[in-house]
Amino acid sequence: MAGAASIPRFLLPQHGLIWRQAAAVAAGTTASAGPAPQYVRLASSSSSSSSSKKPSSSSAGAGPGNVLAKPERFNPPSHGARLPRKGGALPRHYGGELSSDEVQRQRAKDYPGLPPPPGTWGQWFWNSRGLHMAITLGTLTSLAVYTFTENFKRTSPFVDLLPTYSDMAAHPIASTRQVIEVVRMNAMHRAAETDRKRKRHVEDVEKRKLYRQAHGLPEEQGFFGLKQATIRTDAEMAAEAAA
pLDDT per residue over 75-117, tens digit each? 777 776 676 677 766 666 667 788 889 888 888 888 888 888 8
Q: What is the 3-state secondary structure (H, E, C) of 88-141?
A: CCCCCCCCCCCCHHHHHHHHCCCCCCCCCCCCCHHHHHHHCHHHHHHHHHHHHH
Domain spans, the chain: 162-218
Q: What is the pLDDT of residue 225?
A: 65
Taking the CB of residue 233, how many other CB atoms lie within 10 A of it? 14
Q: Coil, helix or strand for 221? A: strand
- In this prediction, residue 50 has a pLDDT band, given cuts at 50, 70 and 90, of very low
Q: Check residues 128 and 57 and name the one with the higher pLDDT.
A: 128
Please give the Cα distance from 39 to 42 (Å, whole number). Answer: 10
Please give the Cα distance from 234 to 206 (Å, whole number). Answer: 12
Segment 113-150, tens digit of pLDDT: 888 888 888 899 999 999 999 999 999 999 999 999 99
